[in-house]
A and B are shown apart, each in its own frame.
Chain A
Amino acid sequence: GENVEQHPSTLSVQEGDSAVIKCTYSDSASNYFPWYKQELGKRPQLIIDIRSNVGEKKDQRIAVTLNKTAKHFSLHITETQPEDSAVYFCAGGEGTYKYIFGTGTRLKVLA
């Protein structure tokens, strides 16, 4: 079945620096790669996603890159701010109907 690995599990950056979180997936049939943000005590919410026919997508300070050959995709946050502190999850859609998440990255932005 699908396996989605996410690294690192924790990440601390200084405010204003960039943060990068990486995920790898196993199912070649996966074609949708979302990233979710979960603030403490809240539900996960989509922040950006990318489909397999696109190599990169940006939305203000957030970007996602996809390398289908290597089966990995990354979340990039630039000019980090304290409100970026949260747990971030990547997900991979298995070839059938499952929506499998990575184990999460706890990002701490230090003021």
Chain B
Amino acid sequence: NAGVTQTPKFRVLKTGQSMTLLCAQDMNHEYMYWYRQDPGMGLRLIHYSVGEGTTAKGEVPDGYNVSRLKKQNFLLGLESAAPSQTSVYFCASSYTPWAEAFFGQGTRLTVV
């Protein structure tokens, strides 16, 4: 039982490049979330999903897109990376929005 796994763990991008972060969970959770964590800003919700095939915007969705084609996977895409997107990204999943959220190990992204 791996829980929530994020790929990759580290990445350096040049401004304007694109990339996709993968989040996979094996707990059969319906709800999945993508957060970014910046110093002093806590965990800010980028996008979330309430089930397979659904996505919704969170607090800071601009510059990101997501897809949930399979229940166990939640992908976060950056179409044209900007230095302001340098951050640590965490994926999380939960059985319901009113239950424990399980986090992946994080992805440290640097955009130069």
Beta-carbon contact of B35 and A101 below 8 Å:
yes
> Which segment, of B15-23, B40-48, B63-71, faces chain A?
B40-48
A47 to chain B, nearest CB (A): 10
Picked from B41, B97, B106, the residue with its CB within 8 Å of the CB of A98 is B97
Beta-carbon contact of B40 and A99 below 8 Å:
no
Q: Which residues of A contact B42 (CB under 8 A)?
A: 6, 89, 101-104
Closest to A9 in B: B40
Q: Which residues of B contact A94 (CB under 8 A)?
A: 97
Q: How distant is the Cα of A87 from the Cα of B42 in the complex, in angstroms?
A: 9
Known: A101-B35, A102-B42. A32 touches B103 (CB 8 A): no
B110 to chain A, nearest CB (A): 16
Chain A's interface size range is: 20 to 34
Picked from B41, B44, B56, B105, the residue with its CB within 8 Å of the CB of A97 is B56
Beta-carbon contact of B50 and A49 below 8 Å:
no
Known: A9-B40, A104-B42. A99 touches B106 (CB 8 A): no
Beta-carbon contact of B90 and A43 below 8 Å:
yes
Q: How distant is the Cα of A6 from the Cα of B41 in the complex, in angstroms?
A: 11
Q: Which residues of A contact B62 (CB under 8 A)?
A: none
Q: How distant is the Cα of A31 from the Cα of B99 in the complex, in angstroms?
A: 10
Give residues of chain A (87-108) contacting chain B, Cβ–Cβ below 8 Å: 89, 91, 93-94, 96-104
Q: Please, what's the 1-or-0 string for A3-32, where 1 marks a CB less than 8 Å from any CB in chain B?
A: 000100100000000000000000000011
Q: Which residues of B contact A (CB under 8 A)?
A: 31, 33, 35, 40-45, 48, 50, 56, 58-59, 90, 92, 94, 97-101, 103-106
